[in-house]
Chain A
Amino acid sequence: MNVSPPTLAVDRVTLQYRTDQNIVTAAYRISFNVLESDRFVMLGPSGCGKSTLLKAIGGFIKPSEGEIRLNGLAVKEPGPERAFVFQEFDQLLPWKTILENIVFALTNSGTLKRPEALERATHYLEKVNLSRFINAYPHTLSGGMKQRVAIARAMAMEPAVLLMDEPFAALDALTRQQMQDELLQLWEDTKFTIIFVTHSIPEAIRIGNRILLLSPHPGQVKAEINSTGNDSMDENGVKLSQRIHGTLFNKTSDTEFNHD
């Protein structure tokens, strides 16, 4: 099925962390491929290890088994080619202005020299409609604006894959919807590869073109399904959201019975 080589391959990855008493397995032998320009969503209830898995892709955590490969090369440490957008609003450096937050990322990672970095940072801030706030400090911005800056910062790296860890989860419902639309608009412009973690079924359907469903304690792959962005019905008249819900919670939905 996968004709083109995957941008990112997760190959039988197990993730464990140590607590005071014992070793907890967060994710167990997970495999999947992310292709170029995918909007790949990892969906699951809390405790399914999806955030841990994303951090492993980011290089912050080492798998205790298996391998993660980006364009064929094993992921060993964090790097700007896997730019990360976090859920927390405090991911912007409070001591730097919006513009400097992006310039900092570009120059420190060795991506660009300062003059070019300034230019690129300005360009991406324009893309997220924040040109007016270039010289503002993060604490003067609203939550949604902070997340937009974080997205602009990550996109400015022009990474091989953009990792987003529930970036809209802490926003109010109205802003959240708006940010989802903006993200899709940005994707439409540049077709970058995204891995997006969420625990919201509607968000997964809206954002993703491919959705990975994970079970909790420890996280294991339940299914990988396609999405067109709408909660459409399949040939049996079952809505996508119902199928996802049923798969995640091991229930066969009523409608399916009716059609059998």
Chain B
Amino acid sequence: MTDSLSLQSKNDRPEFFNELLEPIDEIQPASVTIWQRLYGQGVLRKFGILLILAVIWELYARSLNNPLVFPAFSDTLVALFDGFLSGELLSAGVATILLLIQGYALGLLFAAILTTLASVSKIGADLLETLTAMFNPLPSIAMLPLAMVWFGLGDGSVIFVLVHAVLWAVALNTFSGFKSVSQTLRLVGQNYGLKGPGYIFKILIPGAFASILTGMKVGWAFAWRTLIAAELVFGASSGSGGLGWYLFQKKNELLITEVFGGLLTIIVFGLIIENFVFNSIEKATVRRWGMLQ
């Protein structure tokens, strides 16, 4: 008991109270030099690294002086430019992207159906878990020979492997995202009368959006790699070949500079989607909401 303790200590210091607090002066932050400011920009730093790599590439290629094996950076840029001007590289790029969008959209649709089944019943959840465990480790490009038997040498086969690439990653992440939506948010949704589809769209999907987005990013990465690989195999048969086919063709013609140009295009396309499309979605949603783990 506190009463029984005697906590008397010697205290000669006077008490005081500040009636008015000192007005707060503006404190100037230490000045930052222009170099420090530039160095602070991640984009600029990375751009600097790219520039250095390009210079090393150029110097090495020139010292090697064998454009058939390793063309110079400047020549590659010219080939890239020519490829776009002639429309060949551009149409190959468009063909690839169109195919990708179809496969991706179809993959998302199937993932949505599978996840819905999994969320409404235990059997559905078991189905999703079993199928994902089976098919997720299977590289989708391995399905290509079978797809060619089933769907013939056309877009159908490519779309099939794309769906396979997207479906499992998205379904798995979405479902685990749904499961990790906090109990409190679920109860809040029920408290305000949300049921069925309203509950899924207004509580579960936004609540799991960080996971869904991760799944979409992984699915996109799988799909992009799979697509280029698939096109390497049979772009020609599907009429207008894509970027993969462009690489294969140019290699056969021993136009190695064009091959490098094609590779650069693939890298740039990938960077644009990953950095601009997905990052913008992320910034406008989960980052803004403070939901990114």
List chain A positions with a Cβ less than 8 A from chain B: 55, 58, 60, 77-80, 82-84, 86, 88, 90-91, 93-95, 104-105, 108-110, 137-140
Contacts and interface: CB of A to CB of B under 8 A. Distances in A.
A165 to B, nearest CB: 10
Contacts of A60: 187, 190
Interface of B: 182, 184-185, 187-188, 190-194, 198, 202-203, 206-207, 209, 285, 288-291
Given A93-B185, A139-B289, A139-B290, A78 B190 contact: yes
B191 A58 contact: yes
Q: Is the interface of B mostly helix, strand, loop or mixed?
A: helix
Given A83-B191, A108-B193, A90 B184 contact: yes
Nearest to A105: B192
A45 to B, nearest CB: 22
B174 to A, nearest CB: 16
Nearest to B209: A95
B280 to A, nearest CB: 16
A136 B124 CA distance: 39
Given A95-B285, A95-B291, A84 B182 contact: no
Contacts of A80: 191-193
A170 B202 CA distance: 27
Nearest to B193: A109
Instruction: State the 4 A-B residue pairs at the shortest beta-carbon distance, nearest first.
Output: A139-B290, A78-B190, A109-B193, A88-B184
Given A84-B187, A86-B184, A88-B184, A94 B193 contact: no
Contacts of B202: 104, 108
Given A80-B193, A90-B185, A94-B290, 8 more contacts: A55-B187, A77-B190, A78-B187, A80-B191, A86-B187, A95-B207, A109-B193, A137-B288
Contact of B192 (A108, A139, A140): A108
B205 to A, nearest CB: 10
Given A95-B209, A139-B290, A90 B182 contact: yes
Nearest to B205: A95
Contacts of A78: 187, 190-191, 193
Contact of B191 (A84, A88, A93, A110): A84
**Most chain B CB neighbours (cut-off 10 Å) among A77, A78, A83, A110:** A78
Nearest to B199: A108
Nearest to A91: B184
Contacts of B206: 93, 95
Contacts of A83: 191
Given A137-B288, A139-B289, A140-B290, A93 B188 contact: yes
A85 to B, nearest CB: 10
Contacts of B209: 95
Contacts of A86: 184, 187-188
A104 B202 CA distance: 10
**Most chain A CB neighbours (cut-off 10 Å) among B193, B202, B209, B291:** B193
A94 B191 CA distance: 17
B135 to A, nearest CB: 31
A108 B189 CA distance: 9
B192 A109 contact: yes
Contacts of A138: 290
Contacts of A55: 187
Given A137-B290, A139-B289, A140-B290, A104 B192 contact: yes
Contacts of A110: 193
A153 to B, nearest CB: 9
A83 B187 CA distance: 11
Given A95-B206, A137-B288, A139-B289, A88 B192 contact: no
